[in-house]
């Protein structure tokens, strides 16, 4: 194999990887490589044929493939190298080990590496839904791929468990394709996904949303024949006896949460945050290994691709700066979660540079104030009509507010 050393190697060619590569190139990196396991760039965006992308970043409404296309064009217009159909098996010391039918097993050397592997869906096994194990149980994303990319119908009579964005979008998609969506059941007493998706995908199509409900049994030996839905006690989340209702259906789609895909990250020994399940990063998107950066859903699950793009462009820039030796090293302080804050990303902050702190609330609440504190001094305060764990918020912190402090805390009160 050639002795070439890339400035930046990007693992994953979805929205995060594309923006990271573009960002790295714009920041002056010479040799940039994207390694993508699918047959084309764009990642999950390629199966997201619905609109709603780009409202923030491009100020216009695009479909997933259209949004991806804009970045793919940028990659094509540059001399960024792309390896498609290629699975990365290992992230090593300034290197990645990959495999594809053409090159076989190869090692690529890089001065910095950007992890942009995205996330995967929680499965039936992970949520432990009891019952039989027939055909017709799909995660919403797998079903989306089958319907939108392989042109196959996964079922005709559908129940959806979980009100994640993909689940709600698939409720609309299946309806448009002539399937009957009987209900969306959600364990929590609020929707997991964006409000706009609840309105546009469920309410507008008259699909019932059953909050504080779950599936207690899957029926059918060969193909799904039905699911039993029961109400849960909002406090304990345990099914309430006597509330079981059988929904006869041939398909169950699961939209019960996304998990950052960090097999490679963990194997490499990079520090993982137990709440986000992604690598801990600073505002430069630098992981616990200073030459490894990470961005997009592999770090924490985003609700808008626009945010992923923004974050990933920066990750690419900083990865390029690191490769070129211009990224400053500094002492870092932690970001700390206060009242009603589930997590903050980045977890570490370099006080000498401005930082955008993204966070999610732990529980939905109306009429709140989000606040940031440098140690005990309030440095930011903003009133919000409501806060919802399904919608990410952020606070920007300036260097002058962080000098000499030991941590930055965010609270929602």
Partner 1 sequence: MKKTDVVIIGAGAVGSALARELSKYKLDVTVVEKNADIGGDSSKSNSAIIHTGYDAKPGTLESQLVVAANPMYDEICKDLDIPFKRIGAILPAFNDEQMEQLPAIKHKAMMNRVYDVEYKTGAELLEMEPELNPEVKGGLYIPRESIIDPFLFCIALAENAADNGVKFELATKVIGIDQKDGAVTTVKTDKGDIECKYIINAAGLYCDEIASFVGKNDYYVTPRKGQFYILDKKTSCKVRTIVLPIPTKVTKGKLMCPTMHGNMLVGPTAEDLLDKTDKSTNKEGLDSIAADVRKMIPNVNLRDSITQYCGLRAQRNPEGLNIDMYDDLKGYVNISGVRSTGLTNSVAVAKYVADLLIESGMKAEPKTDFIKTRKGTPHFAELSAEEKAELIAKDPRYGNVICRCETITEGQICDAIHRTLGATTVDGVKRRVRAGMGRCQGGFCGPRVIEIIARELGISPDEVCKNDKGSEMLKGFVR
Nearest to 20 by CA among 326, 318, 322: 318
Residue span 54-93 as binding mask against partner 1, x where in contact by CB under 8 A, dash where not? -------------------------------x-x-x----
Touching partner 1, residues 195-254 (CB under 8 A):
216-219, 221-223, 250-251
The one among 93, 104, 367, 404 contacting partner 1 by CB under 8 A: 104
**Do the Cβ atoms of 321 and 327 come closer than 8 Å?**
yes
Cβ at position 46, least distance to partner 1 in Å: 13
Q: Which stretch binds partner 1 (CB under 8 A): 54-62, 129-137, 317-325, 395-403?
A: 129-137
Q: Which of 101, 274, 325, 367 binds partner 1 (CB under 8 A)?
A: 101
Give the C-alpha separation, 36 to 85, whole Å.
6
Residue 15, SS3 per DSSP: helix
What's the CA gap between 252 and 229, in Å, rounded? 12
Quote the Cα angle for 345-371-257, to 5°. 40
Q: Within 299-367, where are the H helices? A: 305-324
- Answer yes or no whether residue 36 interacts with partner 1 by CB under 8 A: no
Looking at beta carbons only, is 102 or 331 nearer to partner 1? 102
The torsion angles phi and psi of 254, rounded to 5 degrees, stand at -115, 125
3-class SS at 396?
strand
- Bond before 346 cis per omega within 30 degrees: yes
By CB under 8 A, is residue 177 in contact with partner 1? Answer: yes
Smallest separation, CB 110 to partner 1 (Å): 19
Distance in Å, CB of 263 to partner 1, minimum: 8
User: Quick check: 377 binds partner 1 (CB under 8 A)?
Assistant: no
Among the listed residues 60, 73, 76, 105, the single contact to partner 1 using CB under 8 A: 105
Minimum gap (Å) between residue 235 Cβ and partner 1: 18
User: Could you say which residues in the range 131-160 bind partner 1, by CB under 8 A?
Assistant: 131-136, 138-139, 141-142, 145-147, 149-156
Task: For residues 56 and 302, give the distance between their C-alpha atoms in angstroms, rounded to a whole number.
Answer: 14
Cβ 116 vs Cβ 11: under 8 Å: yes
Q: In whole angstroms, what separates CA 230 from the centre of its chain?
A: 29
Judged by CB under 8 A, how many residues of this single chain contact partner 1?
53
Using CA atoms, how far residue 215 sits from 245, 292, 339, 388, 407, in Å, is 9, 41, 32, 24, 43
Which CB sits closer to partner 1, 254 or 361? 254
Query: Which residues in this chain contact partner 1 in the complex, by CB under 8 A?
Result: 37, 85, 87, 89, 99-105, 120-121, 123-126, 128, 130-136, 138-139, 141-142, 145-147, 149-156, 177-178, 216-219, 221-223, 250-251, 263, 266
């Amino acid at each position: 194999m050639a002795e070439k050393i890339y400035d930046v190697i990007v693992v994953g060619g979805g929205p995060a990887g594309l923006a990271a590569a573009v960002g790295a190139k714009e920041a002056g990196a010479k040799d940039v490589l994207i390694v993508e396991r699918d047959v084309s760039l764009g990642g999950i965006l390629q199966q997201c044929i619905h609109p709603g992308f780009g409202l923030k970043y491009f100020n216009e409404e695009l479909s997933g493939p259209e949004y991806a296309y804009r970045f793919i064009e940028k990659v094509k217009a540059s001399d960024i190298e792309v390896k498609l159909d290629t699975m990365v098996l290992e992230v090593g010391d300034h290197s990645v080990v990959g495999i594809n039918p053409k090159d076989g097993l190869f090692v690529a050397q890089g001065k910095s590496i950007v992890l942009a592997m995205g996330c995967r869906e929680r499965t039936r096994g992970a949520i432990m839904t009891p019952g039989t194990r027939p055909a017709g149980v799909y995660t919403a994303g797998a079903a989306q791929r089958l319907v939108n990319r392989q042109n196959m119908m996964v079922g005709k009579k559908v129940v959806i468990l979980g009100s994640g964005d993909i689940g709600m979008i698939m409720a609309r998609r299946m309806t448009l394709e002539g399937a009957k969506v009987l209900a969306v059941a959600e364990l929590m007493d609020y929707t997991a996904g964006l409000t706009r998706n609840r309105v546009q995908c469920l309410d507008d199509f008259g699909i019932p949303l059953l909050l504080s409900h779950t599936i207690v049994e899957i029926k059918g030996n060969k193909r799904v024949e039905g699911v039993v839905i029961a109400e849960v006690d909002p406090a304990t989340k345990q099914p309430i006896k006597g509330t079981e209702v059988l929904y006869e259906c041939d398909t169950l789609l699961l939209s019960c949460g996304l998990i950052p895909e960090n097999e490679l990250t963990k194997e490499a020994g990079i520090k993982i945050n137990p709440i986000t399940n992604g690598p801990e990063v600073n505002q430069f998107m630098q992981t616990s290994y200073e030459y490894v950066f990470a961005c997009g859903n592999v770090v924490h699950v985003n609700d808008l691709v626009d945010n992923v793009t923004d974050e990933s462009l920066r990750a690419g820039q900083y990865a390029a700066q690191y490769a070129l030796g211009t990224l400053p090293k500094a002492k870092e302080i932690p970001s700390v979660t206060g009242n009603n804050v589930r997590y903050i990303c980045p977890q570490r902050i370099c006080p000498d540079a401005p930082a955008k702190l993204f966070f999610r609330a732990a529980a939905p609440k109306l009429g709140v104030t989000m606040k940031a504190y440098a140690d005990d001094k309030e440095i930011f305060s903003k009133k919000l009509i409501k806060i919802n764990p399904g919608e990410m918020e952020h606070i920007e912190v300036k260097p002058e507010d962080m000098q000499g402090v030991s941590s930055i805390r965010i609270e929602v009160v």
